């Protein structure tokens, strides 16, 4: 005599639930494996083509005004900066590029913005900026520092750049990276040169951090 087994609806539902759960697990593992593979591939490309940070150098700095009136300073500076992308296979988008000047650790100009630009592989660009400081408050000790630099016969300025860039490798574009540039300009400075424009045409390398 054959035995007939009748499965309850509850048993069937449980079995079907196990099948659905197994399918979800398969999809999850497949998605995880694909995502991991893509991520590893991107990381591999990144390490192979790891971009070198951009290089900057000062070409010329002209100071047309540098006057102290009590605790206020008026300044007018024109500079030319050379920007170079040293990478052979990586290009750069500069989305934010702001320049300002400091003297003895104090800002002596406001920010001057350079329009966003694209820099191809191993490409160089000449950038100019006009830096203006009208009635900027400075420390009382700055007048003493200016007098001492006149006696020593040289003026040292720091030209700084802050901004955001993106790397481009093939069709892939990275997220934003902040970068900082510090350039040092040294020029002749004496009592007889106080009212005359100060010009430095000596190129100077700048330090860059990304």
14 φ/ψ angles, rounded to the nearest 5 degrees: -65, -40
CB atoms within 10 A of CB 191: 9
Identify whether 69 is part of a domain: yes
Q: How confident is the model at residue 11 (pLDDT cuts 50, 70, 90)?
A: low
Q: 140: domain range?
A: 55-209
Identify whether 158 is part of a domain: yes
Q: Are 167 and 90 contacting, i.e. CB atoms less than 8 angstroms apart?
A: yes
User: Is 41 in the same domain as 116?
Assistant: no
User: Is 108 in the same domain as 16?
Assistant: no
pLDDT value of residue 142: 87
pLDDT tens for 83-134 read 999 999 899 999 999 999 999 999 999 999 999 999 999 999 999 999 999 9
Residue ranges of E strands in 70-203: 72-84, 91-103, 106-107, 112-113, 117-119, 124-137, 154-169, 172-173, 177-188, 198-200
User: Is 118 in the same domain as 197?
Assistant: yes
pTM of the model: 0.75
User: Is 184 in the same domain as 200?
Assistant: yes
pLDDT tens for 37-64 read 887 776 666 655 678 999 999 999 999 9
Number of structural domains the chain divides into: 2
Q: How confident is the model at residue 180 (pLDDT cuts 50, 70, 90)?
A: very high
132 φ/ψ angles, rounded to the nearest 5 degrees: -125, 135
User: Is 145 in the same domain as 84?
Assistant: yes
The upper half-sphere exposure of residue 66, i.e. CA atoms within 13 Å in the direction of its Cβ, equals: 30
User: Is 64 in the same domain as 81?
Assistant: yes
User: Is 148 in the same domain as 165?
Assistant: yes
Q: Does pLDDT of 6 surpass 80?
A: no
Q: What percentage of residues in the chain have a pLDDT greater than 70? A: 81
- Average pLDDT of the residues in 139-156: 88
Identify whether 77 is part of a domain: yes
User: Is 136 in the same domain as 37?
Assistant: no
Instruction: Single out the residue of 131, 156, 154 nearest to residue 80, CA to CA.
Output: 131
- Domain harbouring 139, CATH code: 2.60.40
Identify whether 14 is part of a domain: yes
pLDDT value of residue 116: 97
Identify whether 114 is part of a domain: yes
- Summary mean pLDDT of the chain: 84
Identify whether 2 is part of a domain: no
User: Is 75 in the same domain as 32?
Assistant: no
Identify whether 1 is part of a domain: no
Identify whether 83 is part of a domain: yes
User: Is 44 in the same domain as 96?
Assistant: no
pLDDT value of residue 28: 73
């Amino acid at each position: 005599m054959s035995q007939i087994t009748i499965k309850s609806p509850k048993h069937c539902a449980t079995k079907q639930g196990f099948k659905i759960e197994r399918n979800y697990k398969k999809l999850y593992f497949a998605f995880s494996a694909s995502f991991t593979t893509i991520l590893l591939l991107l990381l591999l490309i990144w390490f192979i083509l790891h971009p070198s940070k951009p290089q900057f150098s000062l070409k010329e700095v002209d100071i047309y005004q540098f006057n102290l009136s009590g605790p206020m300073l008026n300044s007018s500076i024109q500079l030319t900066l050379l920007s170079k992308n040293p990478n052979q296979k990586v290009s750069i988008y500069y989305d934010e590029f702001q320049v300002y000047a400091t003297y003895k650790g104090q800002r002596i100009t406001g920010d001057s913005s350079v329009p966003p630009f694209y820099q191809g592989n191993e490409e160089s660009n000449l950038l100019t900026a006009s830096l203006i400081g009208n009635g900027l408050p400075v420390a009382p000790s700055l007048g003493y520092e200016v007098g001492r630099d006149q006696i020593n016969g040289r003026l040292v300025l720091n030209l700084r750049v802050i901004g955001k860039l993106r790397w481009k490798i093939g069709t892939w574009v990275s997220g934003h990276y902040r970068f900082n540039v510090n350039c040092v300009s040294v020029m002749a400075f004496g009592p007889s040169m106080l009212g005359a424009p100060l010009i430095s045409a000596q190129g100077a390398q700048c330090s860059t951090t990304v």
